[in-house]
Structure 1
Amino acid sequence: MSARMFPVPDRHEGKVYVVTGGAQGIGRACAERFAAEGAQVMIADVDPAGEAVAEAIGGAFHMTDMSDPEAVRGLAAATVERFGRIDIWHNNAFTAVFKPIHEQTLEEFDQITGVGIRGYWMGAKVAVEQMRKQGGKGVIVNTASVQSFVGEKGFSAYQVTKGAVLALTRSLALDHAPDIRAVAIAPGLIATKAIEGIAEDVMEEVIAGIPAGRAAEPEEVAALAAFIASEEADYMSGTAVILDGAYLAIG
């Protein structure tokens, strides 16, 4: 964990946290952060590397294709079987193909939206069902993006999913207030493996367009997620929190 991060010991003690897409990047950082704050963590991913992450933090791993509704139900069932409940559900998994719409195929669109829309909807559904069974409060965190608000070339299918995430977050918050909160996180450029293949000159241009002058670290997103899911943010619901180094402030 980055030396810049300062976990709050025991803030999530006794809570059960599920994060999809938790094998690497933002999801992995969030899993590590919640574990450091006392939560029992279930990592879901199609990448088996999630098992090693779970082992390192004393959590559990469940191989899950978020585009498959039955797999999502299986994830919820496995979490309850292992930990007895679900308190925080973090929809974070994504898949993307970056090319203009006329070059994208319907199969690619279905793959992207299958995870980023249907998977998020189904994840929220099973989480809400379990939280209601428990008779207590719960929190759903949805990973959105600055691309929920602005357009970029070659990102049409991905942006469809991230726009939908905001709509889902608002609807969840209204349907289930005051017991269950729903909040979206909208990160800008994050220093994960997803950007490693970007050419150096292109990356320099991207960074130049961010007033903060850098990409965010995954741990910074994790710190925000841990706050949002805590009792300190109990009045926060139905909104998106932007973490983008002032990128959207440019207008």
Structure 2
Amino acid sequence: MGLLDGKVGVITGAASGIGAATAKVLAREGARLVLADIDDAAGGELAQSLGATYLHLDVTDEDAWPAVVAAAEGLGRLDILVANAGIGIMGPAIEMSLADWRRQMAINVDGIFLAAKHCIPAMRKAGNGGSIIMMSSVAGLRGSAGLAGYSASKGAVRLFAKSIALECALAADGIRVNSLHPGVIATPIWNKFPADRSPTGRNRPVNPHMIGHNLVPLGKAGEAEEVANSVLFLASDLSSHMTGSELVVDGGITAGRASRLGI
């Protein structure tokens, strides 16, 4: 018996990284899944390996969302939503173009708004409650130089999750809504960041393992499956009395500074 036997879930941004790891973990625990992404090759291959359904989805395209909900309902009902799709654009805020600001907000915030708008009615129609996990970040809990736009978007996700959790609670629909806040996690997203062109960077690609060693109190970057296991907890009945909460998976980053020098 798996923790999610009989449940149906939708995962956005499912083709790689945390999304793909989440798909593998939830499928292992018995969930039937609809995987959505814009990377059709990787997403389709993953879905085939898991016996899942794959759909191309730009999360900012409202007209595309009904097909995702219909695919989940075609599997029986919708119990779980993992709103994971997101992007990160680095650089000082005053150097960011308005187009990049709007693109990041559209994917990271509008995409989660549309996920909730279209999936909550389907969960209510099924009448079995449900669990919504909105992917934020430690950047949504504190500021970070060079990530002002990203932090703003992930902070918005944090408070949106709390507000939707309260709306669902007042509706007595049994739907729980929580945000998840990963820290430095070794996923392919780091390959999309620009190379380090600082005087000491020598134009090297961003290395999450080096960042994890230097900045994470536990001394290493996290793995995507470690975040996926936390998604499993929130998606399952193990977290049945949690809603409007923040689950942080960051190796101790937000706890404070742990000096290697002991001072």
The one of 247, 252, 262 aligned to 1:246: 252
TM-score normalised per structure 1: 0.92
Equivalent of 2:23 in 7, 31, 46: 31
Q: Secondary structure at the residue paired with 1:118?
A: helix
Which sections of structure 1, spanning at least 5 residues, go unmatched?
A: 1-8
Instruction: Determine which of 22, 44, 54 is the counterpart of 1:61.
Output: 54
Partner deviation per Cα, 1:66-120 (whole Å, 9 max, x = no partner): 0111122322123223x13110001000022211112211111111111111110
Spell out the pairing of 1:44-193 with structure 2 (5 A cutoff): 44-48=36-40, 49-81=42-74, 83-177=75-169, 178=172, 179-193=174-188
Determine which structure has more spread, i.e. the larger CA radius of gyration: 2
Greater displacement, 46-55 / 72-81: 72-81
My pick for the range that moved more, 91-100 or 189-198, is 189-198
Name the CA distance, whole Å, in 2 between partners of 1:224 and 1:205: 22
2:235 maps to 229
CA contact (8 A) 2:80 2:130 kept: yes
Calculate percent identity across the aligned residue pairs.
Answer: 34
Separation in 2, partners of 1:205, 1:63:
33
Q: Which amino acid aligns with 2:60?
A: S
Q: How much does 1:61 deviate?
A: 0.4
Distance 2:102 2:250 in 1: 28
Partner AA of 1:135 in structure 2: G
Q: Structure 1 residues 138, 202: closer, same or farther in 2, change over 3 A?
A: closer
Tell me, in whole angstroms, the C-alpha distance in 2 between the residues paired with 1:103 and 1:74.
38
- Report how far residue 43 of structure 1 moved: 0.6
State the TM-score, normalized to the length of structure 2. Answer: 0.88
Cα distance change on mapping 1:207 and 1:91 into 2, 3 Å: same
Q: Tell me which amino acid in the other structure corresponds to 2:66.
A: R
**Amino acid paired to 1:223:** N
> What is the SS of the residue equivalent to 2:186?
coil
Aligned residues: 242
Consecutive aligned runs of 4 or more in structure 1 exceeding 3 Å deviation: 196-203
Q: Give a deviation string over 1:184-214, Cα, whole Å, max 9, x none.
A: 1100000101124664787535531211000
**Secondary structure class of the residue paired with 2:222:** coil
Classify 1:205/1:59 alpha carbon distance in 2 versus 1 (closer, same or farther; 3 Å): closer
User: What 5-or-longer segments of structure 2 have no aligned partner?
Assistant: 196-203, 258-263
The CA RMSD over aligned residues, in Å, is: 1.6
